[in-house]
Amino acid sequence: MTRALVVAAPASGSGKTTVATGLMAALRRRGTAVAPFKVGPDYIDPGYHALAAGRPGRNLDPVLVGADRIGPLARHGSAGAEVAVVEGVMGLFDGRVPERSAGAASVGTAGAGSTAQVASLLGAPVVLVVDCRGMSRSLAALLHGFRSFDPGLRIAGVVLNRVGSERHEDALRAAADEAGLPVLGALPRRDALAVPSRHLGLVTAAEHGAAATGAVDAMADLVAAHVDLDAVVALAAPLPAVPAWTPADAVGRSGRATHPVRTGDSPGRNGGLAGVGPVVAVLGGAAFTFGYAEHVELLAAAGAQPVTVDPLRDEGLPPGTAALVLPGGFPEEHVAELAANTPLLAAVRELAASGAPVHAECGGLLYLCATLDGAPMAGVLPAAATRAGRLTLGYRDAVALGDSPLFPQGTRVAGHEFHHWSVTPRAGATAAWGWRGAGPEGFVAGGVHASFLHTHPAGHPEAVARFAAAAAAAARP
């Protein structure tokens, strides 16, 4: 059975990405099969995890998928692996920020989506990465506080990061002894591992190319040299003995979108052959990297044929395309190239005009606008996308304001926003979503559902089944 451990920290910027990614890569070098995970809705770290572990990086987010799915999803993503390494988010106990009500903060969501919650749901021990700059014996107080805050959570060891000297390390080890925690490694101060960043965090691994591989290799070298890998692995605990989540079970047999093959079947109106499942084009490549691995798995389980299209290279949609998924990403970093690919823009516009199902989130929404930062885009939506003056960030409890190929009107979901952009108008005649504290947002028109809101498909597999069924209907003669 796969065993798991969680890499966490007291705060963001402590070095947990370096330790977690380096640990994944270092263990893989030794021949250990590693399953990589990230707590929360982050899309960027899993790209580096995938490079490190050689298998898809996956997210574990109790807010977006429900606490009951965390164990099953971890089992699904760990199939065939010996060790699951879960990188935390922010500080160990930081989760969804509670909303304010009647002038006072509500504690109803305190800790929801936190690394501590995920570690508890998995029964996994926590390795705490501490940035030790400017600290010596105070480390003992910090560790004591983190251990005692939640007695049900097992903090099993500490990795000292940014250690200045041997003398500094000796003092820190003595402090950890006082707190009763073993030191699993001590990483020296080093600036060579810096990975380029932008307004939403790291540059994605797909964009960073060979340099991303180099950064992962450097992390692996650092961790292998300064962390006791055997001691870390020995701490890992078996994943919960629950049935693994499966895409087929999630969509259910009734959700399958295929229809029987019949002798003499002719191509559908989009060129697809009836009976083989509808082709669903999924934008990918460097401009559209913000997707969950479970999405294409669910589409396939629902009977569709997901095919990746890179709008920086491909000039058309696959033959027989019956539906289109446009995930998030950084299209704004590739505006000139996207605008220059007029054949693909025209194909997307034509597909949307036909009434075929089109699902766009965040970066995908920007691509469907008439303009992005002044450059012409697909023109599916009568909207202009411009840079906003501030970051929009946070979980949203949203309700669907109109029927779409994904959600019936009135469906309630948990979603997440993370962008520096705005569109004008903010919503179409029929908006995609509404939530407390904001006006209607997004667009539902024909078969198009476009919004800044990200949802996790594993949290709403019925929406994927509904989308695949709509694609199958569009593919029929």
List residues with catalytic annotation.
362
Cα dihedral angle (405, 410, 411, 414), rounded to 10 degrees? 120
Cα separation, 8 vs 330, whole angstroms: 27
Could you give the angle at which helices 16-29 and 210-226 cross, rounded to 10 degrees? 90
Tell me the C-alpha to C-alpha distance, in Å, between residue 369 and each of 152, 280, 376, 384, 419: 49, 21, 8, 6, 16
Report the run of H or E that residue 209 belongs to, with start and end. none
CB burial string 385-413: b at 16+ within 10 A, e below: beeeeeeeeebbebebbbebbbbeeebeb
* H helix or E strand, kind and range, residue 270: none
Contacts with 357 (C-beta within 8 Å, 6 or more apart), sequence order: 322, 323, 324, 405, 406, 447, 449, 467, 470, 471, 474
- Taking each helix axis as running N to C, give the angle between helix 44-53 and helix 16-29, from 0 to 180 degrees, rounded to the nearest 10: 20
Helix (H) or strand (E) holding 174: helix 166-179
Q: State the Cα–Cα distance between residues 288 and 296, nearest whole angstrom.
A: 14
* Dihedrals phi, psi of 39, to nearest 5 degrees: -75, 135
